[in-house]
Amino acid sequence: MQPSHLLLFLFLPLLLPGIWADPEEPKVLQLLHTSLFTNISSTEVFGIGFLRDIPIYTMNRVSWTINFHRPWAQQATMEGDAEKVAAHYKMALRNMIRYTHEEAPHISMDYPFVIQTHAGCALYPNGTSWSFVDIGADGRDFVAFKVERLLWVAQQRSPQAEYVSRSLNKDKSTRVFLEHLLTIFCQSHVLTLYKYGKADLERQEPPVATVFARTPSPAQLLLVCRVTGFYPRPISVAWLRDGQEVPPGPALNTSSILPNADLTYQLRSILAVTPRDGHSYACRVRHRSLGTHSLLILWENHSAAPTMGITIAITLLLIAAIAFARGIWWWKHRKGDGTRRDTQEFII
């Protein structure tokens, strides 16, 4: 698996949930960046950018050049100030690495450690927008840049986070640059990306659903509804008992939506029922690609009596078939003996 694909699977759960390719939904650009500080002189860098949940570019871990995953993303980057911003980004990355190495002894950061950055912007249909920069250290929220206040704010109650936020707030020029980057440039770039990537963003893949059962104990039956291959991400999956939707409760367990390797999604919904309770069950799936229709996959949970009757009927049919076949064989065998006896007597 290539590093860029690995990053995709690591970062997809962090993406903003429930975003549809629809004019009524926000337009979102997200950048995720990870720096592994192995020692005082060595740092490994990984980066990936998403338009909504589509990976559009990654950063080469050696040369720090941008690798485009979609031709239209490269076209969009050639418009406006995107190429200049990319050059500034490399410079800012070098400064960030140098700053982190310098400050590590003051905040008691022991090598190796990981710094992660989640940044981007979202445009909403009502004309409002939201921009963000969140930085984590070793998997925990650390500091965040509040664009509306032009301030870095500690995200944990620790001397290290307070020290770093105070230190970053001393650099006013960087804070002003971040404001421009996260508002004016980011929002303009998002609109350009959506213009060029319309076909991918409006892609719809219908879900494929199957229902099967598991029996963890004689007193319990688990009905599993597996739904996969759908895009975009938002989907509705519900269980129906005799046509009525099963409400949330301890018997119902639905997984989170997970990515597939082909950039579609999957999930499972499990309903615990009593075996042979006489009710009928169905898994109902609603998705944008289905329009006003729904997928309905039935599961018949019949009582034991019909099942036993069918089993007995099949057994009797098998016995009758075997007896009939043996009778035919015996009749042919006896007829053959009689023919041979007549022939011998004729020759004699």
Residues 105 and 180 in one domain: yes
- Please check whether residue 188 is in contact with residue 80, taking contact to mean a CB–CB distance below 8 angstroms: yes
Q: Which of 20-24, 298-302, 313-317 has the highest mean pLDDT?
A: 298-302
Answer yes or no: is 129 within a domain: yes
Residues 121 and 240 in one domain: no
Q: Which residue has the higher pLDDT, 9 or 133?
A: 133
Residues 218 and 101 in one domain: no
Q: What is the pLDDT of residues 25-39, one digit of tens each?
A: 789 999 999 999 999
Answer yes or no: is 343 within a domain: no
For residue 208, the one-letter residue type is V
Residues 231 and 181 in one domain: no
Residues 119 and 254 in one domain: no
Single pTM value for the model = 0.71
Q: Are strands 151-154 and 140-146 parallel, antiparallel or unpaired?
A: antiparallel
Q: How far is CA 181 from the centre of its chain?
A: 29
Answer yes or no: is 278 within a domain: yes
Residues 166 and 237 in one domain: no
Residues 147 and 226 in one domain: no
Q: Which of 148, 172, 201 is the last residue of a domain?
A: 201
Residue 303, pLDDT score: 44
For residue 292, the one-letter residue type is T
CB atoms within 10 A of CB 46: 20
Q: Which two tokens stand for residue 51?
A: 């338009």
Answer yes or no: is 310 within a domain: no
- Please check whether residue 131 is in contact with residue 182, taking contact to mean a CB–CB distance below 8 angstroms: yes
315 pLDDT higher than 60 = no
For the chain, the maximum distance between any two Cα atoms, rounded to a whole number of angstroms, is 127
Distance CA 150, CA 145 (A): 7
324 pLDDT higher than 70 = no
268 pLDDT higher than 50 = yes
Answer yes or no: is 347 within a domain: no
Residues 289 and 239 in one domain: yes
Q: What is the mean pLDDT of residues 206-216?
A: 94
Residue 326, pLDDT score: 67
The answer to whether the bond into 232 is cis (omega within 30° of 0) is: yes
Beta bridge partners of 113: 37
Q: Which residue has the higher pLDDT, 61 or 338?
A: 61
Backbone angles phi, psi at 26, to 5 degrees: -70, 150
Contacts of 18 (CB under 8 A, 6+ apart): 233, 234
Residue 85, pLDDT score: 82
Residues 98 and 225 in one domain: no
Q: What is the DSSP letter of 288?
A: G
